[in-house]
Amino acid sequence: MTTALVCYADGSEDIEVTAITDILNRGGVKVVKAAVAESGRTTVTLAHGSVITTDKNIADCTDNYDLIAIPGGLAGSEACRDCEILINKLKSQKNAGRYIGAICAAPGFVLSTHGLIGNARATGYPGCKTDTIINYCTDGVVTDSDARLVTGQGPAYALDFALALLEALEGKDVADRVAAGMLHSCAAK
């Protein structure tokens, strides 16, 4: 079974983290929700007040995952950027050629800060673009299959981003089926 680690931190963007988790679950991916917080804590408060109890603390996520996904939100992205455990997992993920997904502030603040984008095509929230994203794109969602990287611009693209993650993991047919079941317009494309 395909697996995904979805990172939840205090200040993560509510709609982004929810869309990622929901759509991957609908597509049959086994999702592990991880709190990027001090050791042992599994409850976080998202950017717009949703209080979420995750499956595990990031320190307890010792398995390998087919995808590690990081939502945006300024405070949430900063927490992810500063979490040594998560950064080490992301570096191992990249080195193993497994997928990484990041949306909104996360591509610039988390991935770019730690050299995890390289020459890949990527996007992110325009105000959070850093000069180290060499091939920055203005598209809402960008998949660089060679780099095993999926990025998105922000909350308005949360569903498209999550569907792109699902397509990367399970293929276009599964992503289209999930999109159609949600009455999402990309299913007609």
- pLDDT digit string (tens) for the chain, length 189 residues: 999 999 999 999 999 999 999 999 999 999 999 999 998 999 999 999 999 999 999 999 999 999 999 999 999 999 999 999 999 999 999 999 999 999 999 999 999 999 999 899 999 998 776 566 678 888 999 999 999 999 999 999 999 999 999 999 999 999 999 999 999 976 544
Note the pLDDT tens digit of each residue in 93-106: 999 999 999 999 99
The verdict on residue 43 lying in a domain is yes
The verdict on residue 187 lying in a domain is no
Cα separation of 164 and 150, whole Å?
7
Nearest to 101 by CA among 149, 156, 31: 149
The verdict on residue 177 lying in a domain is yes
Give the model's pLDDT for residue 129.
60
CATH number for the domain including 66? 3.40.50.880
- Residue whose entry in the numeric block shows the structure tokens 């590690």: 68
The verdict on residue 189 lying in a domain is no
Return all residues near 181 (Cβ < 8 A) that are at least 6 apart. 26
The verdict on residue 49 lying in a domain is yes
pTM for the full predicted model: 0.95
Active site residues: 104
Q: What are the residues facing 35 on neighbouring strands? A: 8, 57
Supply the range of the domain harboring residue 110: 3-182
Radius of gyration of the chain (CA): 15
The verdict on residue 66 lying in a domain is yes
Nearest to 150 by CA among 131, 169, 172: 169
Nearest to 85 by CA among 59, 52, 56: 59
User: Do residues 22 and 162 make contact, with C-beta atoms less than 8 angstroms apart?
Assistant: yes
Cα separation of 83 and 94, whole Å?
17
The verdict on residue 188 lying in a domain is no
Q: Are strands 30-35 and 99-103 parallel, antiparallel or unpaired?
A: unpaired
Return all residues near 139 (Cβ < 8 A) that are at least 6 apart. 123, 153
Give the model's pLDDT for residue 135.
82
Count how many domains the chain has: 1
The verdict on residue 54 lying in a domain is yes
Give the model's pLDDT for residue 132.
62
Using DSSP, state whether 81 is helix, strand or coil.
helix
